Structure 1
Amino acid sequence: MSAEIVVAVCAVVIAVASLGVSVWQAYVTREHNRHSVRPVLQLHRGIHQGARSGVQLFNVGLGPAVIVSSTVSVDGEVVGRWDKACADRVRTGLPTHLNAVTFGEDEVIPAGYSAYLLSLPQYDAGPHAPVEDLLSRRLTITIAYESFYGGENFRAVYAPE
């Protein structure tokens, strides 16, 4: 085997290896970019005597969350998607008025966002016991969302204890 053939074979092997590394690098870069804008929605209940209390939505991820859909259930029955009409139905029959922040489908929740979906400005255990019962045992909220890339089918769920 001549030296020219050995050099040519080595050049082909190096070129193929270089192409493989480039393809792998592009894949890893795309995955990194997707993760660098991944939203993470969380729903938490906070009941604090004498302070603002309720169900709070946080986006603790690095990117905005695009709301795909939402479902709200009370006592296992679907009330609707989380909009003003649904919030009004959830609040019906309570002895006090809960403040509500609602959103629509395709709404974007920015990174770092924090807001109470349902809240009382000052919780008092006596008169607000039905509210605590609703938030602790009866209410379920499910939010389906995606990043701007789309197709991930992320979910945030607030469920009874």
Structure 2
Amino acid sequence: MITAVAAVVVALGSLWVSYTQARDSRRHGRQSVRPMLHMRRVKEYEGTEAGLNVINAGLGPAIVTRSIVRLDGEVIGQWDYHTQQRLLGPLPTRPKAHSLRPGAVVLAGQSTFLLSLDDFSDDRHGWFWELVTRRLVIEIHYESLYGGENFMVAPPVF
């Protein structure tokens, strides 16, 4: 009888160890491909380019699920071609823009400007720096290859 009880206890202990090891292994696998988008405003960092930059500092690709663009606190759409046309059309100089539609992928280590001016100078383009620092907010929602996490990044608040 004692031998049978001891065998059941050992079997249950082994089952518990196997379960926790498998759970931790799955968790580690998810973390090993986790994306981590970081958004920053760049002004004359290396050269004369300025704008709103997004970087995937994580270990896996970030899959964009949606984006929200706010201008002066009002939602004007997603960060796609049509929203860019409405936003950039009336500006004195047309900045370069990179869309992030749902399904777009930001690879691990990738860095791209969402909105930028190549030849930025404070005296000629103060309006642009005001736009990217005070008026425009681009919020990007994304997930990993596993899906369902609903991560989000937006520019830091000044």
In structure 2, what residue type is equivalent to 1:145? Answer: Y
- Once the two structures are superposed, residues 22-73 of structure 1 have per-residue CA deviations (whole angstroms, 9 ceiling, x without a partner) of 0111111111111111111111001128611100010101111111100111
Percent identity reads 43
Displacement of 1:145: 0.5
Superposed counterparts of 1:113-152, under 5 Å: 113-152=110-149
Q: SS at 1:158's partner residue?
A: coil
Q: TM-score, normalised by structure 1?
A: 0.92
Q: TM-score, normalised by structure 2?
A: 0.94
Instruction: Give the Cα separation in 1 of the matches to 2:147 and 2:99.
Output: 22
- Once the two structures are superposed, residues 66-111 of structure 1 have per-residue CA deviations (whole angstroms, 9 ceiling, x without a partner) of 1110011110111210111112222232221100111211112111
Contact 2:39 2:156 in 1 (8 A): no
1:87 alignment partner in structure 2 = 84
Displacement of 1:14: 0.6
User: How many residues in Structure 1 have an aligned counterpart in Structure 2?
Assistant: 157
Q: 1:39 aligns with which of 24, 35, 38?
A: 35
Q: Does structure 1 residue 20 correspond to structure 2 residue 16?
A: yes
Displacement of 1:159: 5.0
Instruction: Give the Cα separation in 1 of the matches to 2:13 and 2:23.
Output: 16
Instruction: Give the Cα separation in 2 of the matches to 1:133 and 1:88.
Output: 19
Instruction: Give the Cα separation in 2 of the matches to 1:6 and 1:56.
Output: 67
Displacement of 1:148: 1.2
RMSD of Structure 2 on Structure 1 (CA): 1.4
Unaligned ranges ≥5, structure 2: none
Greater than 4 Å deviation, 4+ residue runs: none
Unaligned ranges ≥5, structure 1: none
Q: Does structure 1 residue 61 correspond to structure 2 residue 50?
A: no
Instruction: Give the Cα separation in 2 of the matches to 1:16 and 1:54.
Output: 58
